[in-house]
Structure 1
């Protein structure tokens, strides 16, 4: 049986090559309000059916939908798709309000459809290598991690890339739902991989702080936002989001600290992934850096055996393996790798962060999306 996939959002085709490489899977439909663009993209990628109306695509015989539209459409379209009997892979973030996250969780539970958030930074090879090393106990007990997303996106906030003056009269959705928000509006790239390293833990509370407005006062988003997530275990994760400052991009910086060693991703200027682990014959071995490549034998087998075609799918092969996991979940071979509960919790960091930074860094409790069974349990405590 061939799994037929439709993609909504013709400018978000990062999963397309992965679907093309997986047997018994075919992208048969593409939907976008821009009629000319959707026709052009479908012709370029040999997609047979195009739609401008999302409901029309849902009425077709597709089995699954990839939601790659702007953030504010993710939950409405995911819910529509699941209610129409389709499985869903949604781009990040999962939603833009707390109510949406509860609707999303409830829809997954009532429809029984597969829902998976497409947080492809979890699938970056180095992040998978660290995850496997955590599982092997090489870091001992992990207790602190960091993630940073440094990416100047100001030019994407307007339809035409003009700086200043009347040229800024055509704001895009990013002007409102990203740079129009305070706090860690886009946390999942930074948070997702680190949360997976803290095996089975959950976020208990969120506190967020901003630097103020210095670089570009057109935007409500502050130059830098720092968010502290305290886990149920008491351990800490620190997130930095900076999409305003004038600096080189660094969208995948991570650190991890455990009782037996630590890891740091590159900072730039020739830096490399590095690791320091305690050794049996050197009590101070954890104070010496080694390149992460020295531990390549801990890379998961499917990454070590990946073909050049798989690696070319994007994000160093991550865009292939995330699709592979989604298809496997549809077939019932495994649970979704990033399920609706992960999606809601990681996304809720953005929403709680906004409230926290607007209240002087006040700590807010994270609702328990996995275990909350009633409306009364859908609460946030200050």
Structure 2
């Protein structure tokens, strides 16, 4: 069986193309973008035979699956159109931009029974996969606190190179709260196996660096899980500072983990029993001393796979998407995960505009009637 792929978004979407082209059962058949010059250039560069400027036209082509890598406000509409056309969907993050959109998306995935997977590639960072494996094997004991941070100054992206206003000016920097939560919350939620987010609380620091935007310099969001455990995320896309887009930490009853902070720092770990007492506890380098816990496919990664992007994560997220199609199995980041992680940002906006009020997260897996889908303030 050959899976034929169509990609919409010639800029962001091609982060996955090297991975698709390295898998024998897959052929990238079509590319779609409104920018005709970019479309032709990228199609020629990657030897993609068919090009389209209209998404609906590409859906009528002989393809089996669609990669959606357009601006975030287009994700749900295009995913629904693809599902209705009988195509599997791999969507960039976040899943959608309103709570209603998330319900529409779930309804269509359940109706058309095609594979839907959110391409949250930070879940596939090697260190995050290593920690996930250690969590599964109980090395941290019972985990009860985690955090993720996305610190990335994007003020320059509010305007396109041609001087026109970018969509990011509105859908990202024009929003309050944790507008871009999935890079931060996704990997940590995978460490809390089987739990779900119950409450979202968000506060901001105010407007200091760039008051022309609605987004505050820094937003802190707390997610209390159904179990009572806690996750903290920080989103900062305005502050004048070096980028740090992949900081995470984890605390359990038997140990803890912290990602690198920069300036020569490295991922580090401490487990109970390593030292005489916590008074004398010293960090150990994660990758050097716990490399054996890295999943086998990461140990055997090829140069071609690593070149797919995001520390090699883009290759394995594509591989998992393709495997779900071929085997009819649940994708690792399914529509319910996608909607819950995305909803953290949407609910954080309600919380931050109501002075940090706790907002209850709906249970996307169990809500079946309209009463279950109401967001109460």
Structure 2: which 5+ runs fail to align?
Answer: none
* Partner of residue 200, structure 1: 194
Look up the SS of the partner of 1:215 in the other structure. Answer: coil
Shift of 1:309: 1.4
1:222-301 matches, cutoff 5 A = 222-279=216-273, 282-284=276-278, 287-293=281-287, 294-301=289-296
Look up the SS of the partner of 2:290 in the other structure. Answer: helix
Look up the SS of the partner of 1:338 in the other structure. Answer: coil
Look up the SS of the partner of 2:327 in the other structure. Answer: coil
Look up the SS of the partner of 1:143 in the other structure. Answer: strand
* Partner of residue 306, structure 1: 301
* Partner of residue 18, structure 2: 17
Shift of 1:375: 1.5
Shift of 1:317: 1.1
1:328 to 323, 347, 370: 323
Structure 1: which 5+ runs fail to align?
Answer: 162-166
1:61-80 matches, cutoff 5 A = 61-80=62-81
Number of aligned residue pairs: give it: 375
Shift of 1:287: 2.8
Look up the SS of the partner of 1:22 in the other structure. Answer: coil
* Partner of residue 164, structure 1: none
Look up the SS of the partner of 1:271 in the other structure. Answer: coil
* Partner of residue 98, structure 1: 99
* Partner of residue 88, structure 2: 87
| In structure 2, C-alpha distance between the alignment counterparts of 1:321 and 1:282, rounded to whole Å | 40
1:359 to 354, 359, 364: 354
Maintained 8 Å contact 2:274/2:281: no
Maintained 8 Å contact 2:275/2:282: no
| In structure 1, C-alpha distance between the alignment counterparts of 2:169 and 2:278, rounded to whole Å | 49
Shift of 1:332: 2.0
| In structure 1, C-alpha distance between the alignment counterparts of 2:120 and 2:156, rounded to whole Å | 24
Report the CA distance shift for 1:281/1:217 in structure 2 as closer, same or farther (over 3 A).
closer
Maintained 8 Å contact 1:278/1:286: no
1:2 is the counterpart of 2:2 = yes
2:341 to 336, 340, 346: 346
| In structure 2, C-alpha distance between the alignment counterparts of 1:235 and 1:341, rounded to whole Å | 20
TM-score (normalised: structure 2): 0.97
Cα RMSD, aligned residues only: 1.3
* Partner of residue 123, structure 1: 124
Maintained 8 Å contact 2:180/2:235: yes
Look up the SS of the partner of 1:325 in the other structure. Answer: helix
Maintained 8 Å contact 1:329/1:335: yes
2:314 to 295, 315, 319: 319
Look up the SS of the partner of 2:42 in the other structure. Answer: helix
Maintained 8 Å contact 1:28/1:48: yes
Runs (4+) off by over 3 Å: 280-286
1:34-183 matches, cutoff 5 A = 34-160=35-161, 170-183=164-177
Report the CA distance shift for 1:286/1:226 in structure 2 as closer, same or farther (over 3 A).
farther
Maintained 8 Å contact 1:276/1:286: no
